Structure 1
Amino acid sequence: MRTLQTLGRMPIGLTVPAFAILIIVFGAPIVLLFLTSLNAPALSIANYQAFLGQQANVRVLFQTIEVSVLATIICIIIGYPTAYLITAAPKRLRMVLLVLVIIPYLTSLLARTYAWIVILGDRGLINNLLLDLGLISSPLPLIYNRVAVYIGMVHIMLPVMILPLVSVMLGIDKSLVAAACSMGARPFAAFWRVFLPLSLPGVRSGSLLVFVLCLGFYITPAALGGLRDVMLSTFIAAQVATSFNMARTAAAAFILLGIAAVIVSALGLDLSDTPGRAEQPPRKSWRRRLPSFGTLTRNLNELAKPYRAKRWAAELYQVGGDGRDRKIVGTVFVLIVMFYLLFPGVVVITMSFNAGTFLQFPPSSLSLRWYRSFFGDPSWTTAALTSIQIGVAVVILSTIVGMLAAYGLSRTVPRLRAILTMMLLTPITFPSIVVGIAAYFGLLNLGLIGTITGIILTHCIGAVGYVVVIVSATLGNFDRRLELAAKSMRAGPLRTFMKVTLPLIWPGVMGGAVFAFIHSFDEVVKTSLISGFSIRTLPLKMWENMRHEIDPTIAAVASLLIFLPLLWLVALYVTWWRSRPKDQLAVPQL
């Protein structure tokens, strides 16, 4: 009890378990890995020179950057209007659209990649349809090329772009745009001069998240791309599998990490989003640093004032007639995006009930043959049970540690809270292959490679970050006066937390636990490095079958993974719904 009281007086002490796991599994190993890449204690850049001295390595590096940049640009082009239309929709429709975006976001990456293999393959949905219609005589090369890589990567990353944009756009005061229109600005001008600048933080955050995650992509380019579409993550993973030269592998990993660090530091990304931050002085725009352009702009605006005044007087009382057309175009656009996000899952689920030997859409006859194949094959069921066991262990450990860390961070000063939160979020903001290499290097020294304990610890360093973010957001709306009232009635710190704080933040804790399980259950890259070819989880089993043979059993497994997010959303909704009476009765009970 004295220990708990001491920790209660020093909230920062509650973050010790989280930082202990982070430092042991990721922090200290990545520092040692960096020193290894420099051939410590000699400290030379020979490994970096060796990497950059090979033309093939440089080509793969620039190809990785090119693919990541273009995928990010496509996500902005599609995601921004989608988020804008979702924000402008009525509240009920907006919630439905957000759920439709979240479902593919929570769906297994392997399941979505497999869906595109089924659709774009030589015997896939598109080629079969064109062959049946007689439009082509031989299958089109729709897969194993750069276009297929972009299709798969954008499909996976688009929700990551849309969700931050929607979050920022919902906080923009729409009366500002209406005020601009009332002063004679046309809808596009009001959007360009008022709404767009206010939504740029969402564009920045979404773009950086998409770009950094694309840098570490491994599964989708390897499954949908050809030999000329190799990403640097695939190159690093191949080095780990075929060579034990950790110095050169570390150099390649830090080159990839350096690219991500440069972009993040240049544009600025604060994922901590901690309340109570001091206002930062606004940065000077690049336009203000060029006085000649500013003077020219002001002169042009002065010349255009009479024209704008005349147009405003002429159009003041006119009724806009293109509103219906804009609504139709917006509705069609949103429907196309939702079709793009959800249709691959529908195809896989439908094909999983096919009774034939080969996958076919639509199925000639319905059967549970491939589901029986999954549950009747010990290799599949053993892999599934292993993934569930690891996921449950990760949920228990990361939820407890992350909840304590979030509680402690919420009671520290804002500046320190932002720094510590960013440190806890590094495993989910760094490229996945870099985190996997660092964890492999650290657990190798501890003798935990090829063990379930090593996999659990590796998954936890990312899962803790999700729990901290979600629980911290819940604590941001928590009224601390309830805790003070309980303490004034002689309730101790532990009793206050268990009886007052925990019931009120329970929905956030459950949300963090759900994301922790999804993060663990869908992990492939880090698991493949830490498992040491001795432990097979369900994602690893799926990945092996996708690379060597297209077993229709994968369709049944993928369909089960697609249904899984629906169960999580129902569980989260039930938890939130059941917590509402407790929130309302908290003050009377106190």
Structure 2
Amino acid sequence: MLQKLTRAPFGLTLPSFTLLLMVFGVPITSLLFMSLNAPDWSFVNYQRFLSQSANIYVLLQTIEISIGATAICLVIGYPTAYLIVTAPERQRTVFIVLVLIPWLTSGLVRTYAWTVILGDHGLINNVLVASGLASSPVPLIYNRFAVFVGMVHIMLPMMILPLLSVMYNIDKSLVAAARSMGARPFTAFWRVFLPLSLPGVRSGSLLVFVGCLGFYITPQALGGLRETMLSKLIVNQLLVSANLGATAATAFVLLAVTAVVLSIFGLDLSGSRERVRGAVGTKRRSWLSAQGAMGRWFNELGTSWRASRWQRQLYRAAAQVRWVEFAGAGFMTVVMVYLLVPGLIVIIMSFSAGDFIEFPPSAFSLRWYVAFFEDSTWTTSLSNSVEVAIDVALLATATGTLAAYGLGRMSPQSRSILTMMILMPITFPVVIVGVAAYYGLFHLHLIGTKTGLVLAHSIGANAYVVVIVAATLANFDRRLEQAAMSMRAGPLRTFWRVTLPLIRPGILGGAVFAFIASFDEAVVTSMISGYSIRTLPLRMLENVTQQIDPSIAAVGSLLTLLPVLWLFVLYVLYWRSRGKPQRAHAQAEA
């Protein structure tokens, strides 16, 4: 049976696609028909949405906030990624870890931290009033400014990581060659490095923009009534209104915005260096051709001047290097403080001995940790989250690993199409996924059950596992399998003794990310739980919006330290995986 599946790799992807179609694919198709008022087929639901000026205002505001947050992330993230790539190896590793820590930290915790920092009696206002810079608290929260601060803080790592991936593969000798031909540092960067890094700009911007479109918790906690986004409108309609067709139409309006952006900028979030370099060269040649004879004449006129300048500056020390280094160090310090200090504030605040949340604490105590573990509502929520996350990790790891193994044995065209289908739950705005999952599980009578939560979380977690395991398999030498089979090892024995040990770090890494994705999920959970199952994120969401229980500071502290554990686990998996390919080669040759 396994041998037949190996020869027909599509069969290995069937568990993933069965889960995807059952929870997401079929429901979202049904919702599309429902939004079109099937079987009468009309646009009445869309006309009703577009006829209300309040809906148009919320839609435009959602796009405006998403564009603004994406632009800010790009302005901050690009120089951050550039400084990380150009840093020495040890510093680069430290910076990457510091970026990963907030990325792995619960978004609810980070949002909660900003409510404390930006509040009327928060850290910033306390400093302003105490220093005499302000006579009364400055309105820093419940406005557009606070929404941008919270959204950019959450999405900035999503901008930095794709940029790092692309910038790290850029051949630095190209910039050095431009400098050796007399180009100034900024000119070499602008003409060589920047064009080659554009795929990372596109990937990061798409990820951030699509993620911002589906933001629900952060605008609700940090923004005022004027900062309502379309995702909140969709959730309110789903939980209050009985007209599911109107809710589906609203969801598909948001999905249409996503589709338009993806169709303009493309779905391929990767680009090889050769393709980028060829595109840059083509654009440059087209640009020079468009300039005509006048452009070529000016270029020849400046040739002698550039040559003389190159000779004058060849052996002259760079006078501006020192202040540029200081500026870069200062910029990185500000960015790292922005990313990490909110989590540190939550940790410090969790040891407060007061009856209310305060920073800095007037006295230190463990009372809120004790209160957390003695409160059955908190411990039950934690138990529910851990139980659901473990089930999701097991299910998603099994289906995702099989799918990645099957996709790796398909033709490039089939693999690209099927991979994009599997990645839909993490490509679409999360509120769209939640609405589709709600509709699909409602007909399966799984709303308000742990089974429903596991299935709803698994479609996104499955996508993360596929991405991570597929990346591991990309570096796997299939000749090892062929060598084992040539020694009369069957498909099952070959997979168990050769393939599995080599890709085990990727599988375990995928399981860790699947667990994190489920443990931190709040938007889809709020729709599927039906108020009958309280997970830790839902319990935290209630306290973030109401701010009635200081125990949330202890919870936030534990969840802030949790990424350190995840990174340690991934680090151990990485080091244990080193040397295994050499041992496998030795065993295969023996």
The 3 A distance-change label for structure 1 pair 297 and 156 is farther
The 3 A distance-change label for structure 1 pair 12 and 490 is same
The aligned counterpart of 1:82 is: 80
Aligned match for 2:451, one of 450, 453, 457: 453
The aligned counterpart of 2:541 is: 543
The aligned counterpart of 2:220 is: 222
The aligned counterpart of 1:46 is: 44
Q: CA deviation at 1:571?
A: 0.8
The CA deviation string for residues 87-120 of structure 1, in whole angstroms up to 9 with x for no partner, is 0001111001000000000000000000000100
Could you tell me the TM-score, scaled by structure 1's length?
0.96
In structure 1, stretches of 5+ residues that fail to align are none
- In the aligned structure 1, how far is the partner of 2:154 from the partner of 2:89? 26
Following TM superposition, the consecutive aligned residue runs of length 4 or more in structure 1 with deviations greater than 6 angstroms are: 274-281
- In the aligned structure 1, how far is the partner of 2:411 from the partner of 2:114? 47
Which residue identity does 1:34 align to in structure 2? L
Q: CA deviation at 1:361?
A: 2.0
Q: Is the 8 A contact 2:238 2:247 kept in 1?
A: yes
The CA deviation string for residues 241-277 of structure 1, in whole angstroms up to 9 with x for no partner, is 2112111111110010110111111111324x59999
In structure 2, stretches of 5+ residues that fail to align are none
Which residue identity does 1:112 align to in structure 2? R
Structure 1 segment 395-414 matched on structure 2, within 5 A: 395-414=393-412
- In the aligned structure 2, how far is the partner of 1:277 from the partner of 1:217? 36
Say which SS state the counterpart of residue 416 (structure 2) adopts.
helix
- In the aligned structure 1, how far is the partner of 2:45 from the partner of 2:562? 44
- In the aligned structure 1, how far is the partner of 2:279 from the partner of 2:131? 59
Say which SS state the counterpart of residue 319 (structure 1) adopts.
coil
The 3 A distance-change label for structure 1 pair 140 and 287 is farther
- In the aligned structure 1, how far is the partner of 2:325 from the partner of 2:277? 38
The aligned counterpart of 1:423 is: 421
Percent identity over the alignment is 62
Which residue identity does 1:115 align to in structure 2? A
- In the aligned structure 1, how far is the partner of 2:396 from the partner of 2:512? 11
Q: Is the 8 A contact 2:12 2:403 kept in 1?
A: yes
Q: CA deviation at 1:278?
A: 10
Q: CA deviation at 1:378?
A: 0.2
* 1:366 matches 2:375: no
Say which SS state the counterpart of residue 142 (structure 1) adopts.
coil
The aligned counterpart of 1:478 is: 476
The aligned counterpart of 2:240 is: 242
Which residue identity does 1:149 align to in structure 2? V
Q: Is the 8 A contact 1:274 1:414 kept in 2?
A: no
Structure 1 segment 141-540 matched on structure 2, within 5 A: 141-271=139-269, 282=279, 285=283, 288=286, 293=291, 297-540=295-538
Q: CA deviation at 1:150?
A: 0.3
The 3 A distance-change label for structure 1 pair 23 and 503 is same
Q: Is the 8 A contact 2:58 2:230 kept in 1?
A: yes
Say which SS state the counterpart of residue 38 (structure 2) adopts.
coil
Q: CA deviation at 1:181?
A: 0.5
Which residue identity does 1:22 align to in structure 2? L
Q: Is the 8 A contact 1:274 1:417 kept in 2?
A: no
Q: Is the 8 A contact 1:475 1:505 kept in 2?
A: yes
The CA deviation string for residues 73-99 of structure 1, in whole angstroms up to 9 with x for no partner, is 111100000000000001111001000
* 1:68 matches 2:70: no
Q: Is the 8 A contact 2:13 2:402 kept in 1?
A: yes
Q: Is the 8 A contact 2:36 2:45 kept in 1?
A: yes
Q: Greater CA deviation, 357-366 or 557-566?
A: 357-366
Q: Is the 8 A contact 1:48 1:251 kept in 2?
A: yes
Which residue identity does 1:486 align to in structure 2? A
Q: Is the 8 A contact 2:347 2:554 kept in 1?
A: yes
* 1:132 matches 2:130: yes
- In the aligned structure 1, how far is the partner of 2:548 from the partner of 2:436? 32
Which residue identity does 1:94 align to in structure 2? R
- In the aligned structure 2, how far is the partner of 1:482 from the partner of 1:50? 61
The 3 A distance-change label for structure 1 pair 538 and 587 is same
Say which SS state the counterpart of residue 317 (structure 1) adopts.
coil
Q: Is the 8 A contact 2:288 2:295 kept in 1?
A: no
- In the aligned structure 2, how far is the partner of 1:389 from the partner of 1:294? 68
The CA deviation string for residues 348-368 of structure 1, in whole angstroms up to 9 with x for no partner, is 000000111122222222110
Q: CA deviation at 1:279?
A: 10
The 3 A distance-change label for structure 1 pair 549 and 470 is same
- In the aligned structure 2, how far is the partner of 1:445 from the partner of 1:196? 51
Structure 1 segment 104-115 matched on structure 2, within 5 A: 104-115=102-113
Q: CA deviation at 1:577?
A: 1.8
Q: Is the 8 A contact 1:287 1:294 kept in 2?
A: no
Q: CA deviation at 1:584?
A: 3.0
- In the aligned structure 2, how far is the partner of 1:582 from the partner of 1:275? 28
The CA deviation string for residues 3-49 of structure 1, in whole angstroms up to 9 with x for no partner, is 21211211121000000000010001111100000001111111111
Aligned match for 1:25, one of 23, 36, 39: 23
Q: Is the 8 A contact 1:68 1:214 kept in 2?
A: yes
Q: Is the 8 A contact 2:384 2:534 kept in 1?
A: yes
Q: Is the 8 A contact 2:403 2:466 kept in 1?
A: yes
Say which SS state the counterpart of residue 26 (structure 1) adopts.
helix
Which residue identity does 2:528 align to in structure 1? I
Q: CA deviation at 1:295?
A: 5.9
Which residue identity does 2:437 align to in structure 1? A
The CA deviation string for residues 451-500 of structure 1, in whole angstroms up to 9 with x for no partner, is 11111001000000000000000000001111111111111111111111
Q: CA deviation at 1:280?
A: 12
Q: CA deviation at 1:313?
A: 2.7
The 3 A distance-change label for structure 1 pair 465 and 179 is same
Q: CA deviation at 1:301?
A: 2.6
- In the aligned structure 1, how far is the partner of 2:540 from the partner of 2:392? 21
- In the aligned structure 1, how far is the partner of 2:248 from the partner of 2:292? 47
Aligned match for 2:100, one of 99, 102, 111: 102
The aligned counterpart of 2:9 is: 11
- In the aligned structure 2, how far is the partner of 1:185 from the partner of 1:544? 57
The CA deviation string for residues 500-529 of structure 1, in whole angstroms up to 9 with x for no partner, is 111101111111111101110011111111
Q: Is the 8 A contact 1:38 1:46 kept in 2?
A: yes
Q: Greater CA deviation, 359-368 or 478-487?
A: 359-368
Q: Greater CA deviation, 493-502 or 401-410?
A: 493-502
The aligned counterpart of 2:564 is: 566
Aligned match for 2:118, one of 117, 120, 128: 120
- In the aligned structure 2, how far is the partner of 1:493 from the partner of 1:244? 53
